[in-house]
């Protein structure tokens, strides 16, 4: 029997799937990860936050008291890390350089309104990250690593006021609109439980890996992700 082109393609896909399935079972692969790799296309999950395409953006980060004992450079690490992720994924994004933002913060140590930075830099939006909690260990499980964080993400948009015809009103200050307000909670490892401290999984290595995952999940507020991204990389 001669197979039509579509039948040959379908048969190849089935055989290929069976081969991958056999190989995965032999290697002890997580079936959830296998299901992702066998998808005929890569599904995406839309970002819940506003589009940043073509915008000038300031990223501010503030860590509350007691959250920086294990992360002395936490504010810088999160702001710079999120900036790198967005710059690599959002088209025509203009980020105010972190060093300039840091100088602004040093000059405004008691600032209470993040949108003030947006005005001073003539930006379109300000992303404000407030770290409410972050830890590497659960006090109930000494000797084990279990990362957990809780970060409040708010976006302040600075919008030119317009008249009834949609034309800019000269001489008027820009209006501030909160376009996104979300709590992002991250845990690592998510599925396999706490990790015992070892020569490979030491404090420094775990902290670095955990911060990478926290930054990735913050970036998901603004860029689409695939369903497979939820499968955490637990290799060290």
Pairing of strands 94-95, 44-45: unpaired
Q: Are residues 67 and 141 in the same domain?
A: yes
Q: What is the pLDDT at residue 180?
A: 98
Tell whether 236 is covered by a domain.
no
CA 178 to CA 114: how far, in whole Å? 11
pTM across the whole model: 0.79
Q: What is the pLDDT of residue 69?
A: 84
- The whole-number average pLDDT for the span 66-87 is 93
Structural domain span for residue 13? 5-37
Q: Is residue 235 part of a domain?
A: no
Whether residues 99 and 158 share a domain: the answer is yes
DSSP 74-125: HHHHHHHHHHHHHHTTSTT-EEPPHHHHHHHHHH-TT---THHHHHHTT-SE
Question: What is the residue whose two structure tokens read 């967005």?
Answer: 86
User: What pLDDT, on a 0 to 100 scale, did the predictor assign at position 200?
Assistant: 84
**pLDDT band, very low/low/confident/very high, at 4 (cuts 50, 70, 90):** very low
Regarding whether 131 and 30 lie in a shared domain, the answer is no
Determine the straight-line distance between the first and last CA of the chain, rounded to whole angstroms: 51
Q: How many CB atoms lie within 10 A of CB 170?
A: 7
Q: What is the pLDDT of residue 216?
A: 97
Domain assignment present for 186: yes
pLDDT of residue 23: 37
Cis peptide before 217 (omega within 30 of 0): no
Per-residue pLDDT band at 18 (split at 50, 70, 90):
very low
Section 57-62 average pLDDT: 98
Based on the structure, what is the number of domains in the chain?
A: 2
Do 183 and 214 lie in a common domain? yes
Indicate the length of the chain as a whole number.
236
Q: How far apart are CA 47 and CA 215, in angstroms?
A: 15
Rg, the chain, Cα only: 23
pLDDT reported for residue 39: 54
Is the distance from CB of 21 to CB of 87 less than 8 angstroms? no
Q: Which class for 68: exposed (0-12), middle (13-18), buried (19 or more C-beta within 10 A)?
A: middle
What CATH number does residue 130 fall under?
3.40.50
For residue 35, CA distances in Å to 24, 26, 144, 188, 227 come to 11, 15, 30, 22, 11
Same domain as 126, residue 22: no
> Is the Cβ–Cβ distance between 128 and 118 less than 8 Å?
no
Instruction: Output the pLDDT for position 153.
Output: 98
Across 41-84, the runs of DSSP E, i.e. the strands, are 44-45, 56-63
């Amino acid at each position: 029997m001669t197979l039509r082109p579509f039948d040959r393609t379908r048969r190849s896909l089935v055989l290929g799937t069976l081969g991958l399935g056999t190989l995965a079972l032999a290697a002890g692969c997580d079936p959830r990860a296998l299901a992702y790799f066998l998808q005929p296309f890569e599904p995406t999950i839309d970002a819940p936050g506003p589009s940043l395409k073509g915008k000038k953006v300031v990223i501010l980060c503030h860590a509350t008291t007691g959250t920086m004992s294990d992360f002395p450079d936490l504010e810088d690490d999160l702001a710079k890390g999120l900036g790198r992720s967005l710059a690599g994924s959002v088209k025509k994004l203009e980020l105010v350089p972190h060093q300039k933002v840091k100088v602004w913060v040093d000059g405004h140590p008691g600032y209470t309104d993040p949108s003030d930075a947006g005005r001073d830099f003539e930006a379109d939006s300000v992303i404000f990250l407030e770290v409410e909690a972050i830890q590497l260990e659960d006090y109930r499980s000494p000797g084990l690593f279990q990362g957990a964080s809780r970060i409040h993400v708010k976006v302040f948009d600075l919008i030119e006021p317009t008249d009834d015809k949609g034309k800019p009103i000269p001489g008027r200050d820009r209006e501030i609109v909160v376009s996104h307000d979300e709590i992002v909670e991250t845990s690592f490892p998510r599925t396999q439980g706490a990790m015992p401290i070892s020569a490979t999984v030491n404090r420094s290595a775990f902290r670095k890996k955990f911060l990478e995952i926290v930054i990735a999940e913050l970036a998901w507020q603004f860029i689409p992700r695939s369903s497979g991204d939820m499968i955490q990389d637990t290799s060290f």
